[in-house]
């Protein structure tokens, strides 16, 4: 949403709630003359905004006999953006442009199944009226030229458990990207993007599922390491399987041998035999909500705070790895006997200090 894309932006008016506001949204290939140029135009648009929802309901009813409402709809250059609505954008026939994602098999099947009783109308008799878009999923509304029946074709199965919106957010997260990158991709593709609020809602709903899956995978990896250790007779005097692990960490900010000042760091422990992750941790020393509240001298509002670190950045990695060692018996029922790692001596210092498996158990370091 940077200034360099100014020629690709368009002013849309939110509606339907008291919270009316203007919002700039990148949308390519829209004619510049559709942008409200002055207050008068904005007011006209605002007055007209209440109309489509009523018209939409009318259109959704079958056997609408009059076509005047469609004419009026087509005349309106309206885009309503509201994350609380079922539809976050209405695109009339004359404004339809750009690309979309569809479930091709479902779409073709829906089209071929259109047949009106008592008449021989088919898809060829339908006239496109408008698109109701919710993120990357759409409903295409048609009216039959012969019998005036209204047909709605979905871009994908609306009962699908993993719809395109969720799948895209998951894909963006898995590729290490965010909403800004999705916006860039959509801009290049000339494809309308989902509202940022919708993206955030989906992202928040996915986070616990991703965490759950990650834990399940780590537990399964631990089981495998345990089985292989028992198979190889690698058990300590207390009867606990012992394994070799590889561990390392990283910061979110590059450092050049000194000046470790990253606000975020991550670390993980991987089983040597399976090459699978057994533990991972994150340390954050900054939270923008907490920080802003402190700066403005205000009470911190309730939020999901990610700040969990107040020590130095270069101590993050050792703390995460030491936590992983301390939790190995609880998580996997195994002990980490040998640690393969880089020349960073702080991890071993921390492990010698913490003694996660008691003073009798020696953890060996293998330099790599
Ligand atoms: Zn018909
Ligand atoms: Zn916070």
Judge whether 288 lies within some domain.
Answer: yes
The closest ligand to the CA of 303 turns out to be 2
119 Cα: distance to centroid of ligand 1 (angstroms): 6
The closest ligand to the CA of 302 turns out to be 2
Q: Domain end: 122, 137, 161, which one?
A: 161
The closest ligand to the CA of 293 turns out to be 2
Judge whether 177 lies within some domain.
Answer: no
Judge whether 248 lies within some domain.
Answer: yes
Angstrom CA distances, 142 to 83, 102, 150, 152, 154, stand at 25, 17, 6, 6, 11
Q: What is the residue range of 18's domain?
A: 3-161
179 Cα: distance to centroid of ligand 2 (angstroms): 21
Task: Say yes or no: 135 and 236 in one domain.
Answer: no
Task: Say yes or no: 236 and 336 in one domain.
Answer: yes
Task: Say yes or no: 226 and 157 in one domain.
Answer: no
The number of folded domains in the chain is: 2
pLDDT score, position 87:
64
107 Cα: distance to centroid of ligand 1 (angstroms): 19
- How would you label 100-124 residue by residue, b for 16+ Cβ within 10 Å and e otherwise? bbbbeebbeebeeebebeeeebeee
3 Cα: distance to centroid of ligand 1 (angstroms): 48
Which residue's structure tokens are 């509202």? 195
210 Cα: distance to centroid of ligand 1 (angstroms): 46
149 Cα: distance to centroid of ligand 1 (angstroms): 6
Q: Domain end: 121, 141, 161, which one?
A: 161
pLDDT score, position 86:
54
Judge whether 277 lies within some domain.
Answer: yes
244 Cα: distance to centroid of ligand 2 (angstroms): 37
Closest CA to 341 of 357, 325, 365: 365
Judge whether 193 lies within some domain.
Answer: no
Angstrom CA distances, 165 to 74, 105, 115, 136, 265, stand at 27, 18, 30, 6, 30
Q: Strand 22-26 to strand 277-284: parallel, antiparallel, or no bridges (unpaired)? A: unpaired
Task: Say yes or no: 336 and 224 in one domain.
Answer: yes
3-state secondary structure 127-141: EEEEEEEECCEEEEE
The closest ligand to the CA of 127 turns out to be 1
Judge whether 187 lies within some domain.
Answer: no
Which residue's structure tokens are 């040597």? 272
Q: Could you read off the pLDDT tens digit of each residue along the chain, which spans 368 residues?
A: 333 333 333 333 333 333 333 333 333 333 333 333 333 333 333 333 333 444 444 444 433 333 333 323 233 222 333 444 456 788 888 888 899 999 999 999 999 999 887 778 889 999 999 999 999 999 999 999 999 999 999 999 999 888 999 999 999 999 999 999 999 999 999 999 999 999 999 999 998 988 999 999 999 999 999 999 999 999 999 999 999 999 999 888 877 767 678 899 999 999 999 999 999 999 999 999 999 999 999 998 898 898 999 998 889 999 999 999 999 999 999 999 999 998 777 899 999 999 999 999 999 999 87
Task: Say yes or no: 213 and 151 in one domain.
Answer: no
- Asked whether the beta carbons of 151 and 144 are under 8 A apart, the reply is yes
Q: Strand 264-271 to strand 137-144: parallel, antiparallel, or no bridges (unpaired)? A: unpaired
Between CA 14 and CA 305 the distance in angstroms is 30
Judge whether 44 lies within some domain.
Answer: yes
263 Cα: distance to centroid of ligand 2 (angstroms): 13
pLDDT score, position 92:
85
pLDDT score, position 51:
38
State the DSSP H helix or E strand holding residue 216, giving kind and residue range, or none if neither.
Answer: helix 196-231
Rg of the chain on CA atoms, in Å: 29
296 Cα: distance to centroid of ligand 2 (angstroms): 14
Task: Say yes or no: 301 and 223 in one domain.
Answer: yes
Residues 6 or more apart whose Cβ sits within 8 Å of residue 176: none
- Asked whether the beta carbons of 69 and 75 are under 8 A apart, the reply is no
Judge whether 195 lies within some domain.
Answer: no
Between CA 217 and CA 196 the distance in angstroms is 30
């Amino acid at each position: 949403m940077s200034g360099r894309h100014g020629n690709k932006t368009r002013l849309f008016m939110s509606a339907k709630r008291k919270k009316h506001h203007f919002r700039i949204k990148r949308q390519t290939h829209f004619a510049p003359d559709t942008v409200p140029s002055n207050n008068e135009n904005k007011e006209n648009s605002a007055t007209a905004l209440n109309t489509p929802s009523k018209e939409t309901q009318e259109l959704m009813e079958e056997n609408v006999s009059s076509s005047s409402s469609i004419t009026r709809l087509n005349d309106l250059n309206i885009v309503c953006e509201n994350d609380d609505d079922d539809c976050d954008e209405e695109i009339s026939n004359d404004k339809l442009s750009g690309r979309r994602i569809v479930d091709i098999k479902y779409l073709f099947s829906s089209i071929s199944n259109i047949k009106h009783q008592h008449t021989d109308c088919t898809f060829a008799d339908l006239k496109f009226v408008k698109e109701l878009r919710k993120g990357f999923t759409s409903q295409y509304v048609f009216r039959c030229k012969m019998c005036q029946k209204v047909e709605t074709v979905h871009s994908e199965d609306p009962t699908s458990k993993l719809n395109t919106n969720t799948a895209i957010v998951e894909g963006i997260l898995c590729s290490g990207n965010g909403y800004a990158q999705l916006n860039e991709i959509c801009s290049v593709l000339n494809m309308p993007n989902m509202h940022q609020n919708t993206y955030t809602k989906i992202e928040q709903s996915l986070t616990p599922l991703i965490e759950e899956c990650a834990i399940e995978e780590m537990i399964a990896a631990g089981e495998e390491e345990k089985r292989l250790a028992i198979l190889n007779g690698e058990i300590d005097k207390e009867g606990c399987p012992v394994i070799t692990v590889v561990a390392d960490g990283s910061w979110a900010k590059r450092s050049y041998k000194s000046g470790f000042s990253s606000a975020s760091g991550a670390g993980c422990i991987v089983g040597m035999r399976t090459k699978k992750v057994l533990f991972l941790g994150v340390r954050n020393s900054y939270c923008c909500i907490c920080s802003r509240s402190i700066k403005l001298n205000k009470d911190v509002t309730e939020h999901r705070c990610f700040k969990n670190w107040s020590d130095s950045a270069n101590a993050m990695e050792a703390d995460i790895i030491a936590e992983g060692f301390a939790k190995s018996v609880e998580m996997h029922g195994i002990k980490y006997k040998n640690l393969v790692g880089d020349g960073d001596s702080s991890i071993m210092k921390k492990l010698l200090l913490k003694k996660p498996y008691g003073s009798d158990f020696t953890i060996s370091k293998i330099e790599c």
